[in-house]
Chain A
Amino acid sequence: MLLAQCVVIGIVNGCIYILAALGWMIVFNVTRVLNFTQGEFVMLGGMIAVTAVAMGISPPVAFLIAIIITTLMGCIVERAVINTLRKAPDTTLMIATIGASLSMRIGALMIWGWEPRDLAPFTQGKPISFFGAAIVPQAFWVIGATLLLVAGLFCFYQYSLLGKALTATSIDQEAARLMGINPSKMSIIAFALASGLGAMGGILVTPIIMTSFDTGVMISVKALVAAVIGGFKPRGVLIVALTIGLIENIVAGFISSGWRDIVSLTIMVLILIILIPRLVSVKG
């Protein structure tokens, strides 16, 4: 029962990390900048959805509004920070995103206050028992939506012209420019995708973990670890994010919560050294 519970919670947490980590990856690959506002997009998605639902808007419409507003925020951050400072060194850009992240967090604190907010689960119903583990209906939403989003993202990158243009920009910006691809346009599209994904992640997890002005911090740190250890490659990021979710919950279950981060990150580093080079090809 305990192992099953650890695995179920681990998969749900892993899915949350996947959505945030893909955001880190998309922006980094196109702009070569670590965008520290990624966690805030997760927070904004959840917060705006909660506010819209509280205003009496039906949940699907409220979620759509939250995704649109957060995506617009992503575009604003790109124009205001990345585009304005495009000639600055990468470190400057990274620090600028940290500043933007802090501003967004403080803004959220001013608007919504410190109190955590809650969102009703998408579907009501009793938890389902699976090998002795209790799975809340919202967990299926998180897992299902993550699978759909990952599949959708794969198709977008693989089959659409825009997706191919983004891939080209991430491989070689100069060569892409010679082929008529506008890197500035690709940058704003990457931010829109990342912020939209973050918002969706925020909306999906709010019924489980609730949301507050600083929710983004804890999620984005783990997601960044997943993105970095995963080498900013889709397959690597997916594997690492899911593994972090699983390991940290198994450690919490069988050793102690106190050891969770130390053990899970040590194991991740070992995986990085031993397995990742075999799982992820050098060419990506």
Chain B
Amino acid sequence: MKKRNTPLSFVVHLSLITLILAGLMLFHPASADAQAPYKIGVTNSVTGYAAGLGASSKNGIIMAVDEINKKGGIGGHKLELVMYDNRSDDSTAVLNARKLIEADKVDALIVGAYSGACFASLDTAERSKIPMFSISAGTKLWKPTRPYSFCVVPSGEILERVRARWIKEKGYTRVAELWLNVPAHEEYIGFFAQEAKNFGLTVVANEQHKANDTDMSVHLSKIVAAKPDIIKVSDYAHTGAIIAKNAKSLGINIPFLACYAVTGEVWLNLAKDAAEGWYGAVVSHQLGTQTPPWRPTYPIVAAFAESYHKRFGESITATSGNSYDSAYLIAAGLKAVGEEPDLARRREKLRYTIENLENFFCLNGPYYMSSNNHNGTGEWAISIVKIVNGKMVLQ
């Protein structure tokens, strides 16, 4: 007897086929997701007072991700960037971080490019159990160690040890501090006070100013009255240029030693001849093609500097390099994780693999991450330069 095709049997057949297909998908989730990209969430200061840092940070991340994707991504997965502007505002940075974690479901976060945004976002990342890379020199961002917080920027602690040692070696003893009041720079002052004791230096003046100050002549006049041997500047490029110009106007002949957030192309373009003779502590990769060829980082730094200049028409900065390294460390961590379809488990494994990256080589030299060191850099990542004819010359 021939079986009749009723509407009921059609529905039953269709349901069976759907169930079989669903079952196949359930037992082969990895194959279905094989090409799904890994997402890196970025909340950066593209506008606002820290826009200078944010713009180069963004460029560094874009470069790293494009390079990785051109090489085929990570185990077949492309890297995808989800980027928001935090407008140099701490609250916006936190909101962006939450949006990236909860709505965009990113694998890891990069927060920058100023200390306030990074410190504000720390708790959100820790609570959400997602690896977060800070683009700021704040040592407290990674020390004491928090499970999910990483920061590859050579920290204030390292910076101040290098600056104090160099000041001592030059034979200066009386040091004046002039700094922009942001959390990272406040840390610098504390670290330098410790290092000053270790190296027998005396801090004879301590002047701070705000981001919207337009003239620092008054601060400099107070510093000069304290008769320092050297003036240590912890600032940003724009305000650092105002300081250089003010110092030139006041005819100050005392040497200046700036930090890496000041010393760079933007500052040199703004300060022009007022920058002549200044010393600057730079993140070593800022030397770009001027990096001494004997340094192990020379090939990677020179290649990065050239490609960066070709693509963005500007020189590399400390921030662009640190952001580039952060993206590469995330990629290295994801590669070590391998296939893990569950996002929460992938984030947890990523935290673990980054923490265990040892002798991972990038722009800042080798990184030695461990469970009690989420920074991984050392004094080798900082160099002292002098501005001669508008160029940075290694000292």
CA A134 to CA B248, docked complex, whole Å: 10
Q: Is A163 at the interface (CB under 8 A from chain B)?
A: no
Are B49 and A253 in contact, with the CB atoms below 8 A? no
Are B215 and A212 in contact, with the CB atoms below 8 A? no
CA A12 to CA B214, docked complex, whole Å: 11
Query: How near does chain B come to A223, taking the closest CB pair, in angstroms?
Result: 13
Q: Is A5 at the interface (CB under 8 A from chain B)?
A: yes
When C-beta atoms are compared, the residue in chain A nearest to B218 turns out to be A253
Q: Is A208 at the interface (CB under 8 A from chain B)?
A: yes
Q: Is B182 at the interface (CB under 8 A from chain A)?
A: no
Contact of B238 among A6, A116, A134, A261 (CB under 8 A): A116
Chain B positions within 8 Å of A256 at CB level: 208
Contact of B214 among A13, A127, A261 (CB under 8 A): A13
When C-beta atoms are compared, the residue in chain B nearest to A260 turns out to be B210
- Of the candidate stretches A107-115, A191-199, A224-232, the one touching chain B is A107-115
CA A1 to CA B221, docked complex, whole Å: 8
Are A9 and B181 in contact, with the CB atoms below 8 A? no
When C-beta atoms are compared, the residue in chain B nearest to A207 turns out to be B245
CA A127 to CA B49, docked complex, whole Å: 29
Query: How near does chain A come to B390, taking the closest CB pair, in angstroms?
Result: 14
When C-beta atoms are compared, the residue in chain A nearest to B181 turns out to be A258
When C-beta atoms are compared, the residue in chain A nearest to B238 turns out to be A116
Query: How near does chain B come to A258, taking the closest CB pair, in angstroms?
Result: 6
When C-beta atoms are compared, the residue in chain A nearest to B49 turns out to be A214
CA A209 to CA B216, docked complex, whole Å: 10
Are B221 and A2 in contact, with the CB atoms below 8 A? yes
Known: A114-B55, A136-B249, A208-B215. A258 touches B208 (CB 8 A): yes
Q: Which residues of A contact B (CB under 8 A)?
A: 1-2, 5-6, 8-9, 12-13, 16, 106, 109, 113-116, 118, 127, 133-134, 136, 205, 208-210, 212-214, 218, 249, 252-253, 256-258, 260-261
8 A-B pairs with the lowest CB-CB distances in the bound complex, closest first: A114-B51, A209-B214, A218-B212, A253-B218, A257-B209, A127-B249, A5-B221, A134-B250
Known A115-B52, A213-B47; 10 more pairs at CB < 8 Å: A2-B218, A114-B46, A116-B238, A116-B241, A116-B270, A127-B250, A210-B238, A252-B218, A253-B222, A257-B208
